[in-house]
Amino acid sequence: MAGAESNNGSAQRGDTLPNGDVYVGNFDGLVPHGMGKYMWTDGSLYDGEWDKSKMTGRGMIQWPSGASYEGDFRGGFIDGTGTFKGVDGSVYKGSWRMNKKQGMGTMVYSNSDSYEGLWNEGLPDGYGKYTWAAGNIYIGSWKSGSMNGRGVMQWVNGDTLDCNWLNGLAHGKGYCKYASGACYIGTWDRGVKDGHGIFYQPGSKIPCNLEVSECATNNDGTSASSSSNEKVKVGLLFLLQNLCNKWGLRRFFHRPRRISNGTTPIFVDDSGNHSPQDPPNKSLSSNERLQNSDVHKDLVYEREYIQGVLISEHPKGKHSGMLDSGETQENTWQKQERGPMETIYKGHRSYFLMLNLQLGIRYTVGKITPVPLREVRSNDFGPRARIIMYFPCEGSQYTPPHCSVNFFWKDYCPMVFRNLREMFHIDAADYMMSICGGDSLKELSSPGKSGSIFYLSQDERFVIKTLRKSELKILLKMLPKYYNHVKAYDNTLITKFFGVHRITLKAGKKVRFVVMGNMFCTELRIHRKYDLKGSTQGRSTKKQKINENTTLKDLDLAHAFHVDKSWREALFRQIALDSMFLESQSIIDYSMLLGIHFRAPNHLKTATSHQDTHESSGITSAMDCSVPLHCEDANSSKGFLLVAHEPGTTVGGSHIRGSMVRASEGGYEEVDLVLPGTGRFRVQLGVNMPARARKLLESTDAVEEYDVVLYLGIIDILQEYNASKRVEHAVKSLKFDPLSISSVDPNLYSKRFVSFLERVFPEQD
């Protein structure tokens, strides 16, 4: 081709390259440099700036498919800002990095949906606004293309939802305000109502002292970010979000009509329009209540849902009539607003204690892990089996500098607990990251009966409990026998201990800790928790103190649980072995902690619960989101299914150990539990165990049945039957039946404990 001299002085010519590509433009020597056009053999064309053979600067590229991009290039990649037009008619305008959407950008999809916000690796990620063609709007957080985190959904019919989201589904506590003026404050699990909540009739006084989301709506019902200058406003929302998260400024932007911190379920009506609505109420529908007198119009109702099915409803403050007799939900929302736990922050009363604990565990686990694994010896349990270290703020030869207070650290029997962690399949790196990673621990809002304080790792795999000195002595005394017991019995139900430590502050204050496994670390919602000892004296919960987070007691239990015959035999074989061990150590006051996840009862199912309900946002195919099921299979009579175990397909527990149970229903093979709309779980003794809960209804012979998933384990095993307990037994026996009180001889305690559980888990007829 003929060459020519360009305005910038570089040679301009056209060349056909050896591979068949064609370039016409400016050169610097032998490489493209300046303005030029490049055509690939497949028909793709680039017209723009070059820098030393790399597409760099402004340019436009067109593909044979019809897609095109015009904007910035850098180093041969789409990088900077530009506009991409897809073959399907979609248009993206915004930032790019290395050929992927990255940063702030706006996408208009082929179906006229649009997204404006932050992108990461080509997907919505961060804070953004999604507008459906029908007019529905979501403003909030995204992660990897799905709604994740805090956000507000508003529908064209005027309904508004302010909540947290998980993988595109409402998940947690939340607030839904309807166009009619009614609202519901409650809890959702993966897009369906699940748990306790409060329903306010239109015109009722709604609480206004609740945290407000930054993406609130205006009084006229339009989105707060809807304005003529949309880009500027959304950008300001992003900045406000970051500032609020960083400096805790949400309280200064309080508005009385909006709350956040929760979720709501969304159903799809027959017309395909997305709108939040309550499942039909069999006892009294919302429409029926609206037609009542003015007196009834102002009533506030407490509700309980299980897997999207309304179980009970009653005026707030009245008897609940819920699953278990005697339960009420006084001031439910007010009691649960802060939740059962709080993350420890800088300035929290436990902040420095948490830092010290994390520093100490990181030090000792890091020190013991490189030591070759070996069988424990007798001296590994002795008084000299300790690691003691001083942690000054400025650091030392052996410890790093830190921003906490000076403290002494003592780690008890490190080799024993290292082996126990190995025995329970706890990876050392995962253990340290869970407890000592960048996240803070969470403190339970109320201490235990003994005055102990409980902490949870952020991933909730581990529970950390403060110990009294007497409890520490008992644990160290029984540790050799405990080690042998859990080693011999893989399926033991006894509490799993992973470490015992002590922190001594400069003032001489000593705080002792034990790290344990959290048996309720599961993806399933635990609807009821029971602490069962087998005694009756004082073993009920005061009705006015019951809320969603309450652990109930023996006399509160109104259900019997029927499990597979082979499972029941294995369960009581292990309970007997564990009870015999505790009896041999003169331990009493232990209990069976029972967690129950209820599946929606079949006799309360509605037509809605048998539909393939879409996830609440209704993300279109352009977002490539799947649509899970929130109901049981219409052809199944159970809320779960047992299938042959397939390694690698199940949801793992926090620290599952032991052999899998075999089910007669599955041909006595190892089985997995399949919960439609939730997942597949590995079934073991005390973990993910499906059962049938039966309750005899009051004043009738009718039986109410539920499909449930059970979690159980023996806890509180650090109380000896000592002199003080003997005195307690003698004193209480003067007033109460000696067999009904908790403090009894270990042998009697063990027999009573097993006998009571046999009634809780009766043999099937």
Contact 420, 412 (CB under 8 A): no
Is 68 exposed, middle or buried, given 0-12, 13-18 or 19+ CB atoms closer than 10 A? middle
- How would residue 417 be classed by pLDDT, with cut points 50, 70 and 90? very high
Q: Which of 516-525, 602-611, 657-666 has the lowest mean pLDDT?
A: 602-611
CA–chain centroid gap for 596, Å, is 17
Dump the DSSP string for 543-560.
Answer: GGG--TT-EEEGGG---E
Please say if the pLDDT value at position 592 is more than 80.
Answer: yes
**CATH 3.30.800.10 residue ranges for the chain:** 341-518
Residue 26 has pLDDT above 90, yes or no: no
Which H or E element spans position 499?
strand 497-505
Superfamily name and number for 524-601+688-764: 2-Layer Sandwich (3.30.810.10)
User: What integer best gives the mean pLDDT of the chain?
Assistant: 76
With a cut of 50, say whether residue 249 has pLDDT above it: no
Token match 């405990």: residue? Answer: 482
Q: Which residues pair with 150 in a beta bridge?
A: 164
Of 5-19, 210-224, 320-334, 619-633, the poorest mean pLDDT is in: 619-633
What is the predicted pLDDT for the residue at 208? 58
15 versus 523: the higher-pLDDT residue is 523
Banded pLDDT at 378 (limits 50, 70, 90): very high
Q: Which residue has the higher pLDDT, 620 or 764?
A: 764
From 186-195, 230-239, 264-273, 350-359, the region with the lowest mean pLDDT: 264-273
* Residue 636 reports pLDDT greater than 50: no
Contacts of 553 (CB under 8 A, 6+ apart): 530, 531, 532, 533, 539, 540, 541
Contact 308, 265 (CB under 8 A): yes
Say yes or no: domain 17-200 is CATH 2.60.450.20. yes
- C-alpha span between 357 and 109 (Å, rounded): 51
Given a contact cutoff of 8 angstroms between Cβ atoms, the answer to whether 102 and 120 are in contact is yes
Please give the backbone phi and psi of residue 247, each rounded to the nearest 5 degrees, phi first: -110, 0
pLDDT at 415 over 80: yes
> What is the reported pLDDT for 244?
44
Cα 421 to Cα 411: distance, rounded to the nearest angstrom:
15
CA-based nearest residue to 360, from 372, 368, 371: 368
State the residue for tokens 């009579």. 637
Banded pLDDT at 332 (limits 50, 70, 90): very low
pLDDT for position 107:
92
What pLDDT was estimated at residue 179? 85
- The 10s digit of each residue's pLDDT in 123-148 is 999 999 999 998 999 999 998 888 88
Q: Between 278 and 396, where is the model more confident?
A: 396
pLDDT at 705: 84
Least confident of 41-45, 661-665, 688-692: 661-665
Q: What is the mean pLDDT of residues 504-515?
A: 90
- pLDDT-based confidence at residue 182 (cuts at 50, 70, 90): confident
Name the most confidently modeled range: 232-241, 490-499, 516-525: 490-499
**Where does 359-436 show beta strands of DSSP type E?**
386-391, 407-412
Per CATH, the homologous superfamily of domain 341-518 is Phosphatidylinositol Phosphate Kinase II Beta (3.30.800.10)
**Residue whose pair of structure tokens reads 């007669």 in the numeric block:** 664
CB-CB neighbours of 260 under 10 Å: 22
Nearest-angstrom CA–CA distance, 57 and 54: 9
CA angle 164–169–175, rounded 5-degree value: 45
Name residue, tokens 């959702």: 188
The average pLDDT across 510-514 equals 95
Tell me: pLDDT of 89 over 80: yes
Instruction: Round to whole Å and give the CA distance between 592 and 524.
Output: 20
Q: Which of 702, 615, 612, 540 has its CA nearest to residue 171?
A: 615
133, 121 Cβ separation under 8 angstroms:
no
pLDDT category, 387, cuts 50, 70, 90? very high
Percent of the chain with pLDDT over 70: 73
pLDDT, greater one: 755 or 149 = 755
Confidence of residue 248 (pLDDT cuts 50, 70, 90): very low
Q: Among 284, 435, 431, 429, which Cα is nearest to 359's?
A: 435
User: Residues of the chain with pLDDT > 90: what percent?
Assistant: 32
What stretch(es) of the chain map to CATH 2.60.450.20? Answer: 17-200
Say yes or no to pLDDT of 228 above 90.
no
Residues 310 and 326: their CA atoms lie apart, in Å, by 19
Cβ neighbours for 594, distance < 8 A, ≥ 6 positions apart:
529, 530, 531, 532, 710, 711, 712, 760
Residue pair 430/444 in contact (Cβ under 8 Å)? The answer is: no
683 or 326, higher pLDDT: 683
**Measured torsion, CA atoms of residues 634, 640, 643, 645, in degrees rounded to the nearest 10:** 150
Burial of 120 (0-12, 13-18, 19+ CB in 10 A): middle
Short-list 160, 196, 165, CA closest to 175: 160
DSSP state of 733: H
Of 434, 420, 340, nearest in space to 654 by CA: 434
pLDDT (tens digit per residue) in 682-700: 888 889 899 999 887 766 6
What mean pLDDT comes out for the span 445-470? 84
Look at residue 219 and tell me whether its pLDDT is greater than 80. no
What's residue 376's pLDDT?
Answer: 93
Residue 327 has a pLDDT of 38
| HEC sequence for 265-326 | CCEECCCCCEECCCCCCCCCCHHHHHCCCHHHHCCEEEEEEECCEEEEEEECCCCCCCCCCC
Place of tokens 């000892």: 533
Q: How far apart are the first and last CA of the chain?
A: 94
Helix pair 469-488, 414-423: axis angle to 10 deg:
40
